[in-house]
Amino acid sequence: MWQKTKHGLYRQFNFEDFTAALEFINQVGDLAKEFKHYPRLENEWNVVQLWLITHEEEQNIGQADEMMAKAIDAILDNKLKNQTIKLGNKNENVIKEVKMFADGGSRGNPGPSASGFVIIKNDSDEILVNKGVYLGITTNNQAEYTALKLGLEECCKLNYRTVHVFMDSLLVINQMKGIYKVKNRDLWPIHNAILSLINQFQHVSFQHVPREFNKLADAAVNKTLDESIDK
């Protein structure tokens, strides 16, 4: 996910090895020639960092930077779609792009709380992970944020490189997008932890959905709460 900084649009890319990172750098170089817009670039083995800024606009982020960022994202999208590995004599598709639905709930706010997340293959309705976690006594917003963090940690562990996050919490989604400020100090640590976690992926997007489109994650939350409270 691109971040707006005082040095321009910034994003870190992590690859499997130096060869993959170098291939990406060469593709970015071809784009730079095409756009006549040259980014600042740093590379250390499998990690590539890019900064995009328009010098003609007094070191501000301009339309050319936004367009270049989208073109760079397209390189990764095409790479992920075509990525396969060989197992024996068979080619099997590697799951690199997923959808994640996350939700959290507190019965009392604060009260007994749980987080739930469901990870689904991006190109089908196949459920890969469906998990609920009991949190103890906390608030609804903390449970929502924890669901997002736990889900992204699971995606990272399973080596999914692109994650499309869907949540019915408008607060969490807009804070992750940078539209809303995080005013609640209790949420600062987990918000910052999620920002650091995002840097381990090639791309993470955030989309708000109505509650009726987040039923699977909501069901994971309520099932976990029912089982934990009964015990």
Structure confidence by residue, pLDDT tens digits, 155-177: 999 999 999 999 999 999 999 99
Is pTM beyond 0.75 here? Answer: no
Q: Looking at the DSSP assignment, which residues form a beta bridge with residue 40?
A: 51
Q: What tokens appear for 168 in the block? A: 């019915």
Peptide bond into 39 cis (omega under 30): no
Quick: pLDDT tens for 106-118.
Answer: 999 999 999 999 9
> Residue 89: pLDDT band by 50, 70, 90 thresholds?
very low
From 22-36, 125-139, 153-167, the region with the lowest mean pLDDT? 22-36
* CATH superfamily name and code, 97-230: Ribonuclease H-like superfamily/Ribonuclease H (3.30.420.10)
| Arch. (CATH architecture) of 3-82 | 2-Layer Sandwich (3.30)
Mean pLDDT across 177-200: 94
Residue 105 has φ and ψ, to the nearest 5°, of: -150, 150
Domain definitions of the chain by residue range: 3-82, 97-230
Alpha-helical runs (H) found in 42-139? 63-82
Residue from 117, 89, 111 nearest 218 by CA: 117
> Residue 84: pLDDT band by 50, 70, 90 thresholds?
very low
pLDDT of residue 93: 59
Q: What tokens appear for 81 in the block? A: 């779609």
